[in-house]
Chain A
Amino acid sequence: MSSTLAIIGSPFIPGWDQLGAFLPELVLVAAIVGVLITPFFTERRNFACAVVALVGLVGAFVSVFAVAGEDGAYFRGLLVSDSLAVLWKGLLLLFTAGIVLMWIGTMAEAMREGDGPEFFTLLLGATLGMSLMASTTNLLMIFLVVELASLPSYVLAGFRKTHRLGAEASLKYVLFGAATSSIMVYGLSLAYGLYGTLDLAKIAEQMAVPGAQHVLLAVVLIGLIAGIGFKISAVPFHFWCPDVFEGAHVDVAAFLSVASKGAALVLLLRMVMLIGSAAGFEASAVTVSLAWTLGILGAVTATWGNLAAFAQTNIKRLLAYSSIAHAGYMVCALSLLVARRNEAPAADAAQAVILYLAVYLFMNLGAFTIAALVWRQTGSEQIADFSGLGRRAPIAAAVMTACLFSLVGLPPLAGFAAKLVLMKVLFDNGGWWTVLVFVIGINTVLSLYYYLRIVKVMYLQDRGEDVLGGPILPRVIGVACAAMLVIMLIGFGSLDRLTRDAGRIHDTNSSVAAVK
């Protein structure tokens, strides 16, 4: 194995030669240590920690390219590395670097001097968990990484310590999270008992044997859907999402909106894909019920998120419901991963989800950055206070408009192509998946109303307030995001070729690559 760490030599640590495939995570761990020791050397602790975290994230992002192609199972199958994992890690690290930049540009002054080290330790810790969520198929590791992603998120949600709403949001988040994850562990313990192994690939293989389905398998699947549905914020496990987004700072809300949901979606994608491929993508009791569950879950989540967004007056709460709706669209596509005759539609659906996540990342980062800028300058998160933004801050208003149009899925932006691909993949399969296409279509029309309402407030209402000043950095991030949305639409074809392998995940059973 061409390990990146091989040049350093090999001390007597079991599995040392396999660590190379997880270089991005190692860089993240090093960055966490760096953030913790930085305060000893400088007076401007918050800013210094942000720079160290940013350097670590960029370093980890670069090292993702070094590990691309080292496909296979590592550490006796506890972790796997394949193109899906690599793609998600790249997206996640890029996004988190964007969050740190956004923090420097907008939120830095609001944070008490000395809180920075804790904040960035938690942020990087959550990122570490979310990046590992994409590369595991072992029940024990699934539990560990979900908790590794969740525990820092609970604290981040309550980081405004003296703020009533922050305290309430984090309390709801932690109690709800603890409840769903405990039910998930109970489900996992039953899965272990039913199949005698913790390896999901082996479990999926046994699950596919006709007549081997035990009634307790329903409890296992309910537990898994509760645990992962909570992270995705699928209805009915979505209650925490709007509250946490409103109670937490904008940067934390933006981080959770993409990173937490995306990681859970990728984990769910990998699990469903393993179950589907072990069953040979044939219709069996497990795959059909799983496909129906995911399809209904996705349709209900998308519709609920859009309907609830109508009445919102707080921009973060509106974006929270919007993120619930978008998660719903992606869950719809996951229902394709099981119960079809061959691998091709499943691989297409997986690719559509990854492309959607890539586009979703930029539109959400742009929208939240402008929300953070408005919050920094006016201290308000109300949509009404965006009035006259077209005159007060033309660049910011234009960026916000571009991101919102992309969230709707309107043509000159990448959100359009991503949604179109998602719907096309669903439509090509026919059957009851056509209904999902209609659900997504109707939801798009519904969402047009509340996204355009913000645009209307920005351009058609004006209360004659002063020009919105503020630093240049958030505007640069916003323009970069908006530019990416246009570039991604133009280059969607090459993006499509780049992610072609995303759907062909590493399977420890059928893969040519031997378990290392």
Chain B
Amino acid sequence: MIVGLHHYLVLAAILLVCGIVTMLIKRNAIGILMGVELILNAANVNLVAFNHYLPADSGIRLDGQIFALFVIVLAAAEAAIALAIILSFYNNFASIDVEKASNLKG
């Protein structure tokens, strides 16, 4: 079987759906964060696959790969900040269950 662009796109779509489902059903804050990472990786698969398969107008096409690198870096930064905030939440609530975050409403 020859692996083509479509295979990558389907893989990315499956990752996207997995990520969205994870975000929707998880009650654990770190679980939701994992769902976010899945979606970001779905975008990365897309970007790198498109970069490889799209025709280059002039010279070499690199923008998709550069974009993917930036997404990886920012995903790490976002995870660092989210984990710090989750830790602060844990210090106050002794739990990371997002159902507990129900003091603010209305």
Interface residues of A (CB under 8 A from B): 139-140, 143-144, 147, 151, 154-155, 158, 161-165, 167-172, 174-175, 178-179, 181-183, 185-186, 188-190, 192-193, 196-198, 242-243, 246-247, 311-312, 317
Contact = CB atoms under 8 A, between A and B. Distances in A.
Interface in B3-52: 9, 12, 16, 19-20, 23, 29, 32-33, 35-37, 39-40, 42-44, 46-47, 49-50
Given A179-B32, A182-B40, A183-B39, A170 B71 contact: no
A247 B104 contact: yes
Query: Which 4 pairs show the lowest CB-CB distances between chains A and B?
Result: A189-B46, A193-B50, A182-B39, A243-B104
A143 B39 CA distance: 15
19 contacts: A140-B63, A140-B67, A143-B71, A151-B77, A158-B85, A164-B92, A169-B104, A175-B82, A178-B78, A182-B43, A186-B12, A188-B43, A192-B47, A192-B50, A192-B64, A196-B54, A242-B106, A246-B104, A317-B106
A369 B36 CA distance: 36
Contacts of B9: 193
Contacts of B37: 182
Given A147-B78, A192-B64, A168 B104 contact: yes
Contacts of B74: 143-144, 147
A171 B81 contact: no
Interface in B84-106: 84-86, 88-89, 91-93, 98, 101, 103-106
Contacts of A183: 20, 39
Contacts of A186: 12, 16, 39, 42-43, 46
A8 B28 CA distance: 54
Q: B interface, how many residues as a size bin?
A: 35 or more
A174 B83 CA distance: 10
A154 B19 CA distance: 22
A155 B104 contact: no
Interface-central residue, B9, B33, B54, B81, by most chain A CB under 10 Å: B81
Given A143-B70, A185-B43, A196-B55, 14 more contacts: A147-B77, A151-B78, A162-B91, A164-B92, A164-B93, A171-B85, A172-B104, A178-B78, A182-B37, A190-B46, A196-B54, A198-B67, A247-B104, A311-B106
A175 B32 contact: yes
Contact of B81 (A155, A162, A196, A317): A155
Contact of B88 (A170, A175, A198, A317): A170
A178 B54 CA distance: 29
B104 A165 contact: yes
A426 B13 CA distance: 39
B103 A178 contact: no
A147 B73 CA distance: 11
Contacts of B92: 162-164, 167-168
Contacts of A181: 78
A189 B50 contact: yes
B90 to A, nearest CB: 9
B30 to A, nearest CB: 10
B71 A185 contact: yes
Interface-central residue, A143, A144, A164, A178, by most chain B CB under 10 Å: A178
Nearest to A308: B106
A162 B92 CA distance: 7
Given A168-B101, A179-B36, A186-B42, A154 B81 contact: yes
B106 to A, nearest CB: 6
Contacts of B57: 196
A178 B76 CA distance: 12
A154 B83 CA distance: 12
Given A144-B74, A171-B29, A189-B47, A178 B82 contact: yes
Contacts of B86: 171
Nearest to A313: B106
A189 B104 contact: no
A186 B35 CA distance: 13
A72 B54 CA distance: 29
B82 A174 contact: yes
